[in-house]
Amino acid sequence: MAPTGPFHGGQRTGGQTDDRSVNRRSFLRRGTAAAVGAAAFVGTTGTAAAGGLVDGEGTKAEAPDNFPRVSTRDHFDSDANLINGESAWSYDVEGSWPGSWGEDTLTLLIHGFKSTDGDDSDIDSGYECQLGLEKNGYTGDTAVFTWDSDEGGSIDLGWSDAKDIAERNGRKLANFTQWYTSAYDVNVQWVAHSLGARVVLFALKSLTEDYSRANAVKSVSLLGGAVADDSVSLDAGWFDTEYGQYIEYAAEQCDNFYKDDDSVLEYIFETREWEDAAGEKGCAGPEPANYTDYDVADIVPTHYDYYVRNYGCLPQVVEKW
């Protein structure tokens, strides 16, 4: 049964604290509730790309150590197994959250493959996204959902394990989201880059099947989504799985920003998955009623620049909100 309240299993999972400043590795515990070139699926600038690909053109800002984050770091081992007593629903809260916690819309960036916490590339991504959103008129709160996207140990440079870990993080993201929206009666929005889109699809599935929470997420923005182009549809055919019904039920709107010349998705995702990516081709199949594709190839230079200030498509993202 999905956890729905602020407490579960004797561990703190929700509610407000007077001191929202939490050290980088000191957590407010919220428990409960092809192979060639696979390393190119990074969600951050500064990680070398394979196959002759290059990093993004935009440089990300360095986040403060106390940047707010919902974290499931160190919840999984390299075989995608839960460790350290974590559950299918558990998550942690780190960093310094606004004193007005819960008084405004919260936007979460869900980063992509190989984004690490060791070099703070995860929180740097969240901070860069925040600065870009604010530059375009967004005034709400921003945090990052950081997960073990670099833990995979499979022979394809960890890609298969990272996909499994992404799927299993869906319930964790859903758990936090349903608690936050219920506790504070404010909107939550998701901005998902690359493999972060897989986390989001499974979170929408959880909000639908585990919580029956219609329109639980105000807005979902997929940026260069490393998921199959038919997975975001209402009918993926005989051999694939579709998540369009979950998009339609659990999100008020879903905007897919794709780049039809995205070299990472074209040469790496397709080689590994034998399918086109939604982040390169848009939706293949009948679209959910609340879903819209936007080709931003003329705006976004590389796979790594979708949410980078002055280079990415955040002006278009905010415009659609």
Residues 291, 292, 298: CA angle, nearest 5 degrees: 150
Kindly state the average pLDDT of the residues 292-314: 93
| Separation of CA 262 from chain center | 19
Kindly state the average pLDDT of the residues 39-44: 40
Encoded amino acid at 109, one letter: L
User: Rounded distance, CA 101 to CA 69, Å?
Assistant: 13
Residues 35, 157: contact at Cβ < 8 Å? yes
pLDDT value at residue 274: 87
pLDDT bucket at 56, cuts 50 / 70 / 90? low
Residues 256, 276: contact at Cβ < 8 Å? no
pLDDT above 70: percentage of residues in the chain: 80
User: Rounded distance, CA 124 to CA 62, Å?
Assistant: 5
Kindly state the average pLDDT of the residues 205-218: 98
Kindly state the average pLDDT of the residues 123-135: 95
pLDDT value at residue 17: 31
Whether the per-residue pLDDT at 48 is higher than 70: the answer is no
pLDDT bucket at 4, cuts 50 / 70 / 90? low
Kindly state the average pLDDT of the residues 71-87: 93
Whether the per-residue pLDDT at 22 is higher than 90: the answer is no
pLDDT value at residue 192: 98
pLDDT value at residue 75: 97
With both helix axes pointing from N to C terminus, report the angle between 196-209 and 159-184 in degrees, rounded to the nearest 10: 50
Sign of CA dihedral 261, 264, 270, 275: negative
Q: Which residue has the higher pLDDT, 105 or 237?
A: 105
pTM summary value: 0.85
Q: Nearest Cα to 98, choosing from 143, 145, 163?
A: 143
DSSP 76: B
Residues 32, 8: contact at Cβ < 8 Å? yes
DSSP 288: P
pLDDT value at residue 167: 95
Q: Nearest Cα to 193, choosing from 305, 36, 39?
A: 305
pLDDT value at residue 158: 67
Q: Which residue has the higher pLDDT, 7 or 250?
A: 250
Kindly state the average pLDDT of the residues 118-133: 91
Q: What is the 3-state secondary structure (H, E, C) of 212-259?
A: CCCCCECEEEEECCCCECCCCCCCCCCCCCCCHHHHHHHECCEEEEEC
| Separation of CA 136 from chain center | 20
- The domains located in the chain, with CATH, are 54-320 (3.40.50.1820)
Q: Which residue has the higher pLDDT, 28 or 236?
A: 236
| Residue 159 CB neighbours (<10 A) | 25
Residue 141 burial by Cβ neighbours in a 10 Å radius (0-12, 13-18, 19+) = buried
Residue bearing tokens 């196959």: 51
Residues 146, 194, 248: CA angle, nearest 5 degrees: 90
pLDDT bucket at 156, cuts 50 / 70 / 90? low
SS3 144: strand
pLDDT value at residue 172: 98
Residue bearing tokens 């010349």: 261
Kindly state the average pLDDT of the residues 92-118: 86
- What is the average pLDDT value for the chain, to the nearest integer? 82
| Residue 195 CB neighbours (<10 A) | 29
Residues 21, 67: contact at Cβ < 8 Å? no
Distances from the Cα of 265 to the Cα of 122, 198, 239, 262, 319, angstroms: 21, 14, 21, 6, 25
Q: Nearest Cα to 43, choosing from 226, 280, 296?
A: 226
Q: Which residue has the higher pLDDT, 133 or 304?
A: 133
Whether the per-residue pLDDT at 231 is higher than 70: the answer is yes
pLDDT per position as a tens digit, 158-208: 677 888 999 999 999 999 999 999 999 999 999 999 999 999 999 999 999
Helix (H) or strand (E) holding 87: none
Whether the per-residue pLDDT at 37 is higher than 80: the answer is no
